[in-house]
């Protein structure tokens, strides 16, 4: 990896063809799209894809999206195009959307990170299309930033991050959207947005509904007799009043972002300027009239605390007024003007450039405006929140953590898991904080059911088993249902099946990075030879309960040390 990186204009036929050839020969090329710049390589060549990760400086633990330049290119890459996927493709491609579908055998594991799906993106940017078209190859590409910096929206950003690491960057000008594409899972009956972007869930629902598709969020099935098992129980609960319609907010999206794999109770670290980012205003509605006052207050505080220079990501009219008010403070206040104050498109378009630019000048803090969380505002706030929450400090070291186990009814599986987990924690302790061995680490374990009827006694076998085998007294304990209050208090929620975890993530999107099924957490820590789907022993004999307990015991013994470690506990 030691290139003399050449920045190529699309008009420069000679160098453009050389960039095309580099891609065909398995090299990595920086390429423009309408969202952000990508770091492209031949998606069908694992060796080429490996070089993307080398250039980015991150391990290959996350799936890459695959870029195409025609609908014909998509067919061989996927094994199924669901009706939802088909409608979304027709409506929004080419454009700023990534549609996740079941992959075909052509997609190497290094691209899909071992998943059986692949994200397909058909960019509308003419230079991206020309590049892919001339290569004649599907191009795998993450955003072209180094691990830890905002996605690049100009060729010069890519040059800054990738200089010496790749042979070519194709300069397609400033990216029009400026935020990464909407990532939507279209493998099921209805789309699930994993990362908000310029194309919103409302946009998608509108085209699907006009195409005659039934929106399951609007009409839950009345008759669930033809659906079986766990899913039926979950739908039953939903139909009975549990509300799966949680309005998505910008912080709620839980796609495993590229720079950091999902880890229990840990935040992603990316888009992180090295100074704090302060968001002003109200994300729920328009109060732009007050924004001038908010900026003024923040600036005065910064000046008073000598926390300067302070960087403003700010609209034009507000900046004009502030410049008059703080006329003699040119050194202390740095303005990055994105356009009209209330123009969310302009703010989105300039956000990453603004963060990069202000950060490079080494401002002590950045002040940026909130936008109402609707339309593109959802994606804008999603990226801004990440920049704000991750810029200041490492994840707090807490010496007390809470785990909740979840099944459907909270009478058998989850109470058993609770007792087993508590018993293992105590028998392997005392535990301490790794950074601060004087401090004892404590764990509070509880359990609940997605559709538990509150107050039902734990089954007799559950209580017996916890007592005999684990000296845990569950007698007199009764079931509780998962509530907003209960779940938001947990550091980690571990579910008996993937149906439970999917449902809870859907219902509590902002808890997404803390909700796992046992299988998901096993996969997360890549523990081999363990099966994590725990079936319900309810109604069976004691021996079956013992089998369930054995399975839970094996799983928890493996995962608990990993979980504790991720919390800085030994
Ligand atoms: O706008 C964009 O999407 C840009 C341009 C270059 O196309 N690309 C981009 O790629 O942002 P990247 O790798 O930085 O982000 C892609 C996101 C990641 O969070 C990844 O985890 C998710 O999409 N993703 C990709 N394939 C997936 C899959 N099969 N299932 C779930 N998530 C997936
Ligand atoms: Mg990225």
pLDDT in tens, 147-162: 778 899 999 999 999 9
Query: What pLDDT score was predicted for residue 397?
Result: 60
Query: What pLDDT score was predicted for residue 149?
Result: 80
Q: Shortest CA distance to 88 belongs to which of 206, 177, 252?
A: 206
Ligand with an atom nearest the CA of residue 148? 2
Q: How far is the CA of 36 from the centre of ligand 2 (A)?
A: 9
Atom of ligand 1 nearest to the CA of 119: 26
Spatial distance between the Cα atoms of 83 and 85, rounded to a whole number of angstroms: 5
Query: If you take atom 12 of ligand 1, which residue's CA is the nearest one?
Result: 142
Query: What pLDDT score was predicted for residue 488?
Result: 87
Query: What pLDDT score was predicted for residue 52?
Result: 95
Q: Shortest CA distance to 397 belongs to which of 568, 537, 519?
A: 568
Q: Are 440 and 460 contacting, i.e. CB atoms less than 8 angstroms apart?
A: no
Q: Given phi > 0 = left and psi -120 to 50 = alpha, else beta, which region is 233?
A: alpha
Spatial distance between the Cα atoms of 39 and 32, rounded to a whole number of angstroms: 9
Query: If you take atom 10 of ligand 1, which residue's CA is the nearest one?
Result: 142
Q: Are 89 and 70 contacting, i.e. CB atoms less than 8 angstroms apart?
A: no
Count CB neighbours of 286 within 10 A: 12
CA 193 → CA 40, 204, 205, 227, 506, distances in Å?
24, 10, 11, 25, 10
Query: Does the Cβ of 175 fall within 6 Å of ligand 1?
Result: no
Query: Does the Cβ of 121 fall within 6 Å of ligand 1?
Result: yes
Q: Are 147 and 56 contacting, i.e. CB atoms less than 8 angstroms apart?
A: yes
Q: Are 322 and 292 contacting, i.e. CB atoms less than 8 angstroms apart?
A: yes
HSE (side-chain half, CA atoms, 13 Å) at 46: 9
Give the residue ranges of the chain where pLDDT is below 70.
1, 59, 219-272, 285-286, 390-397
Q: How far is the CA of 127 from the centre of ligand 1 (A)?
A: 20
The three-state secondary structure class of 550 is helix
Query: Does the Cβ of 152 fall within 6 Å of ligand 1?
Result: no
Q: How far is the CA of 309 from the centre of ligand 1 (A)?
A: 35
Q: Are strands 333-339 and 310-315 parallel, antiparallel or unpaired?
A: parallel
Spatial distance between the Cα atoms of 88 and 301, rounded to a whole number of angstroms: 48
């Amino acid at each position: 990896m030691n290139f003399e990186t050449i920045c190529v204009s699309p008009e420069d036929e000679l160098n453009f063809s050389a960039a095309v050839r580099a891609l065909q020969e398995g090299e990595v090329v920086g390429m423009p799209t309408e969202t952000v710049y990508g770091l492209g390589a031949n998606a069908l060549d694992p060796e080429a894809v490996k070089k993307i990760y080398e250039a980015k400086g991150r391990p290959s633990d996350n799936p890459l999206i695959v870029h195409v330049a025609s609908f014909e290119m998509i067919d061989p890459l996927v094994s199924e195009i669901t009706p939802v996927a088909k409608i979304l493709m027709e409506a929004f491609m080419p454009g700023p959307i990534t549609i996740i579908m079941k992959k075909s055998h052509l997609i190497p594991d290094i691209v899909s990170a071992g998943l059986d799906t692949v994200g397909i993106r058909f960019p509308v940017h003419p230079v991206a299309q020309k590049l892919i078209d001339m290569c004649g190859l599907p191009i795998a590409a993450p955003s072209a930033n180094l691990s830890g910096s905002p996605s690049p929206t100009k060729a010069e950003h890519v040059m800054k991050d990738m200089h010496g690491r790749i042979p070519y960057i194709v300069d397609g000008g400033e990216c029009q959207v400026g935020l990464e594409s909407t990532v939507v899972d279209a493998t099921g009956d209805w789309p699930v947005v994993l990362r908000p972007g310029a194309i919103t869930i409302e946009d998608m629902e509108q085209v699907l509904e006009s195409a005659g598709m039934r929106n399951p969020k609007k009409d839950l099935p009345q008759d669930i007799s033809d659906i079986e098992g766990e899913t039926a129980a979950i739908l039953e609960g939903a139909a009975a009043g549990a509300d799966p319609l949680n309005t998505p907010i910008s912080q709620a999206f839980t796609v495993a972002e590229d720079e950091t794999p999902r880890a229990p109770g840990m935040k992603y670290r990316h888009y992180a300027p090295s100074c704090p980012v302060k968001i002003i205003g109200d994300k729920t509605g328009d109060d732009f009239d007050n924004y001038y006052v908010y900026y003024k207050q923040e600036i005065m505080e910064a000046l008073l605390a000598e926390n300067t220079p302070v960087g403003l990501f700010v609209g034009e009219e507000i900046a004009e007024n502030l410049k008059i008010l703080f006329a003699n403070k040119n050194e202390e206040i740095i303005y990055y003007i994105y356009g009209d104050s209330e123009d969310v498109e302009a703010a989105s378009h300039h956000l990453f450039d603004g963060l990069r630019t202000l950060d490079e000048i080494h401002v002590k803090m950045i002040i940026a405006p909130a936008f109402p969380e609707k339309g593109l505002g959802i994606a804008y706030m999603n990226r801004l929140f990440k920049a704000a929450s991750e810029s200041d400090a490492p994840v707090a070291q807490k010496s007390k953590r809470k785990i909740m186990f979840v099944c459907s009814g909270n009478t058998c599986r989850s109470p058993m898991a609770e007792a087993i987990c508590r018993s293992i924690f105590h028998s392997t302790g005392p535990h301490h904080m790794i950074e601060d061995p004087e401090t004892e680490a404590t764990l509070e374990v509880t359990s609940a059911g997605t559709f538990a009827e509150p107050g039902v006694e734990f089954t007799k076998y559950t209580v017996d088993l916890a007592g005999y085998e684990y000296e845990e007294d569950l007698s007199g304990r009764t079931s509780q249902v998962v509530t907003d209050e209960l779940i938001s208090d947990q550091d980690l929620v571990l579910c008996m099946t993937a149906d439970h975890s999917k449902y809870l993530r859907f219902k509590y999107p902002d808890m997404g990075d803390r909700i796992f099924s046992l299988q998901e957490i096993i996969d997360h820590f890549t523990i081999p030879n363990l099966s994590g789907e725990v079936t319900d022993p309810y109604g069976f004999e004691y021996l079956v309960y013992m089998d369930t307990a054995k399975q839970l015991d094996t799983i928890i013994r493996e995962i608990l040390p990993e979980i504790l470690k991720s919390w800085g506990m030994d």
